[in-house]
Chain A
Amino acid sequence: MTINTTRRGFLKSAAAAGAVLLVGARPDGALAAASSETAQFNPFVKIDADGTVTAIVKHFEKGQGPATGLPTLIAEEIGLRMDQIEYEFAPSDPQVYNNLLFGPFQGTGGSTAMANSWMQYRQAGAAAREMLINAAAQSWGVAASDVTIEEGIVNAGDKSAPIADFVAAASQLEAPVEPRLKDPADFRLIGNEAVRRKDSAIKGNGQAMYAMDVHLPNQMIAMIKRPESRGGIATGFDDSASKEVKGYINATVLPNQAGVAVYAENTWAAIQARDALEVEWDMSGAETRDSDQIKAEIMDALEAEATYNVNKADVAAVSAAIEGADQVVEKTFYFPLLAHAPMEPLNCTIEQTAEGNIVLHDGSQMPTGPHMAYQQIFQLPPEKIQINTMLAGGSFGRRATPDADYQVEAALAFVVTDRSRPVKLVWTREDDIRSGYYRPAFGHKARVGLNAEGEIVGWQHQVAGQSIMKGTPFEAVVVHGGVDHSSVEGIADSPYEIPGMALGLTDTPKATSVLWWRSVGHTHTAYTMETMMDLAAQAAGRDPVEFRLAHLSDASDPDQQRKAAVLKLATEKAGWGTAPEGRSQGIAVHKSFGSYVAEVVEISGDPESGIKIEKVTCAVDCGIAVNPDVVKAQMEGGIGYGIGHVMRDQITLTSGAVDQYNFPDYEPLRIGDIAAIDVHIVPSAEAPTGVGEPGTPPSAPALANAITAMSGLHMAELPMAENGVSFV
């Protein structure tokens, strides 16, 4: 992947009058500092002459907390209160603002925002502090070691001044090569549960600006009329009825013929004009299958020999061990297509400036994607393309498209105009639910053999589904020996000590466009692993928690010990085994994105008349919890996202066309669905790992295990509603 670098100069807040201290990194990773007049790099921290400190946040904010977390790191190291630091989102610059775990690619995903920013932003803050202290020491004629910064005030003996007094002098100093980081014992903000989100007030009073809220002077609204089934090609249209809509401007077939762009003066006119448009489609290359056929292809693949022997197991030996076992537990699972359905329907706005630059206003999860695509579409060098990253109304993976799908769609709708008017592309909820990029459907077949002592002697596991990563820029990183790790993550790398594990994978043919969905492969692997663990424990006549701990017993393996620790904490806090009369509990524990999460779901009622989810108790080990309350919120949200979908949601196709339209037939989790969630964080000195996704994987199997414990019903096909289970 070749990525051209951009020049600096696209920071949203132009340099204020007077000296400005910028601290960032050069492309080689070395710290760099300069005044605003001389800087040749994009910074992580900016301190204006008046002492205003701004964190330049390289990750987008979809609710998961980097607009709080990254400023926390800088404020901690400089010595500020949280109300003394502002934030703004970084411009597109894949050399400086790249995700350190993605290579030269700026983007948010895989629950990596904090994990990859942790040292980088602390170092930038520590460098700024050291420069301010050195400037103060010179000015006051004291030793730098005698100068401190507390709550934005520089102190030395009886001298005291705000940091603003030293910004000009500090901006003339060299950046330290290795600034001294704060001792974790001295942290005041990191790990402090009292630290509040930076974006709460504006999101509660309507002031928060999302891409959907962009109103550029003279902008047009564009909506795309798409074929009923993916792969249909627009060959012409009749807009005579659209012309009756006041505010309709015109329509044009997109250059790639994937649809017809309808332009209007406002959103309501665009909705009506698109509804009224008659399009001629060539459907000869369109998808025609039903989802039942796609499912059958997956289930057939589970019965054939797997294409890939993922863990290079001796399959014959494992098979023989299971054949010779005292008991065999066998289940075949199916996981349907799922839509992400973020609350803010996809949209973005493109304008061309007087200088001929292209500016994209977008809740941009992977700015490098559209930045590269736009160089091709507009035939412009990278420095002529700007991306204004705005708050995003959720994503769950949907905005992270390596092919920049909706941003490219907007660019195609813009490039065919005379570019005199900005174009705002707006998707409706129906576009969102019906236009692909789903969590792929997957099938699993698992056979577990147990000996007379109730111990696992063999575990044969086959996975089949459509690869997410093949054909994307991430293929080189994630696909090895043909195996897309994201199809088997959570099994292939499970910390469980399982003797005789054989893991096979078969890629099934492309069924629709697929995409990572909050926790990616763990959405199905955790469900299979953790419901099978329960079934195996039951067959062995052992307690599900004790059974799991027996497979996490290696005291020398921190991976097993951390997983065991969250399991113990969650069960202790949930009162495992002491549920009140009429209630049942289910447990699941899973490692994903470097974090360990255990969840106990407690339910009442029964499957026929309705199950009530009374309580979810969660324990998480994510290393150092930078913002503990944000970590708790992410667990709460991850649990709700996982449970909400397995209860009743799926995307199905009839003759290639998506059957669902909007929330009434893709029902979101509602407030009454989960009565309470209780989150506990394991204290840790380890570097931070992910929290955006790891709350999701254990939630569905913990619920399933609770239902099985209550009724004996095991649900191997999702959603649970397909098994006759209802919820109240």
Chain B
Amino acid sequence: MALTLKLNGATHTVDAEPGTPLLWVIRDELKLTGTKFGCGVASCGACTVHLNGEPVRSCQTYIEDVEDAEITTIEAVGDDKIGAAVQQAWVELDVVQCGYCQSGQVMSAVGLLSENAKPSVEEIDTYMAGNACRCATYQRIRAGIQRASDILEA
């Protein structure tokens, strides 16, 4: 069935069955591959996107539930000043290793800083607990969020 999505500021018409996870529409239909498939059960966070500015796991978000939402993916999150600050911090600190989880890490980090401009270490650890990184770049993710917070404060 035809569905209309508002994604990254544009309107897209896609052909997908109800029950299709948003993840696969983004990746396979819209060919936006920055949003990653990691586990399919909302346990790793690699597929994190924003719905109306809130991070959600797109592998467990169904296409029929997001027709009225503003969807933002990693490809456009840098257009916003918080997203740009996080991406700048990620480069400054060389947070990434394999990088496969990092789109999701950045999307969650932007979600955190959007609601909490100066998160404590404990608040970072709690908020980011659902984003797995098998390379264990966590120390730099934590530092990256703190650095982005400083960039935004300056």
Contact = CB atoms under 8 A, between A and B. Distances in A.
A344 B100 contact: yes
A701 interface: no
B94 A206 contact: no
B129 A64 contact: no
Interface string B13-35: 00001001100100111011111
B36 A636 contact: no
Interface string A660-688: 00111000111111111100000000000
A212 B32 CA distance: 12
A253 B102 CA distance: 37
B94 A636 contact: no
B100 A210 contact: yes
B138 A664 contact: no
A266 interface: yes
A394 B135 contact: yes
Contacts of A636: 136-137, 139-140
Contacts of A199: 96, 99
A345 B74 contact: no
A205 B34 contact: yes
Nearest to A664: B43
Interface stretch (A142-150, A234-242, A639-647): A639-647
Given A196-B91, A246-B17, A341-B134, A205 B75 contact: yes
A568 interface: no
Given A64-B97, A204-B96, A268-B21, A669 B37 contact: no
B131 interface: yes
A428 interface: yes
Contacts of B36: 212, 343-344, 393
Contacts of B138: 640, 669-671, 673-674
A12 interface: no
Interface in B33-75: 33-41, 43-44, 46, 73-75
Contacts of A62: 97-98
B126 interface: yes
A343 B98 contact: yes
B43 A662 contact: yes
B134 A205 contact: no
Most buried by B among A396, A664, A671: A671
A293 to B, nearest CB: 30
Most buried by A among B37, B73, B91: B37
Contacts of B96: 63, 197, 199-200, 203-204
A267 interface: yes
Interface in A484-507: none
Interface string A165-199: 00000000000000000000000000000001101
Contacts of A672: 125-126, 129
B134 A266 contact: no
Interface string B103-140: 10010000000000000010011101101111111111
A215 interface: yes
Nearest to A643: B136
Contact of A641 (B95, B136, B141): B136
Most buried by A among B34, B98, B131: B98
B21 to A, nearest CB: 7
A262 B115 CA distance: 44
Contacts of A61: 98
Contacts of A196: 91, 94
Most buried by B among A639, A668, A675: A668
A267 B102 CA distance: 22
Given A343-B100, A671-B125, A663 B39 contact: yes
A153 B73 CA distance: 41
A668 B44 contact: yes
B99 A393 contact: yes
The main secondary structure of chain B at its interface with chain A is loop
Given A267-B27, A343-B134, A393-B99, A200 B128 contact: no
Contact of A266 (B24, B74, B101): B24
A345 B35 contact: no
Contacts of B97: 62-64, 394, 633, 637
A680 to B, nearest CB: 15
Nearest to A642: B136
A296 interface: no
Contacts of B100: 210, 342-344, 393-394
Nearest to B142: A671
A201 interface: yes
A673 B21 CA distance: 30
B87 interface: yes
A209 interface: yes
A637 B99 CA distance: 13
Contact of A63 (B17, B27, B35, B135): B135
Given A210-B100, A268-B24, A215 B129 contact: no
A644 B37 contact: no
A208 interface: yes
Most buried by B among A207, A342, A344: A344
A644 B103 CA distance: 22
Contacts of B124: 671
A551 interface: no
A431 to B, nearest CB: 11
Interface string A203-226: 111111110110100000000000
Contacts of B133: 343, 668, 671
Most buried by B among A202, A205, A266: A205
Interface in A256-282: 266-268, 271
Contact of B75 (A206, A342, A641): A206
A677 B139 contact: yes
Contacts of A271: 40
B35 A206 contact: yes
B141 to A, nearest CB: 6
Contacts of B86: 204
Nearest to B44: A663
B136 A669 contact: yes
A629 interface: yes
A204 B136 contact: no
Given A63-B98, A268-B24, A668 B87 contact: no
Contact of B91 (A204, A268, A629, A669): A204
Contacts of A81: none
A394 B103 contact: no
Contacts of B139: 636, 674, 676-677
A437 to B, nearest CB: 16
Interface string A98-111: 00000000000000
A391 interface: yes
A673 B129 CA distance: 9
A624 interface: no
Contacts of B43: 662-664
A331 interface: no
A342 B90 CA distance: 21
A393 B33 CA distance: 13
B99 A671 contact: no
A393 B133 CA distance: 10
A377 B51 CA distance: 46
B115 to A, nearest CB: 18
Nearest to A638: B136
9 contacts: A200-B95, A209-B33, A212-B36, A213-B33, A394-B134, A641-B135, A664-B41, A672-B126, A675-B121
Interface of A: 61-64, 196-197, 199-210, 212-213, 215, 246, 266-268, 271, 341-345, 391-396, 428-429, 629-630, 633, 636-637, 639-641, 644, 662-664, 668-677
Given A64-B97, A206-B103, 13 more contacts: A199-B96, A201-B91, A203-B102, A204-B96, A268-B21, A345-B38, A396-B134, A644-B136, A662-B41, A663-B39, A671-B125, A671-B129, A671-B141
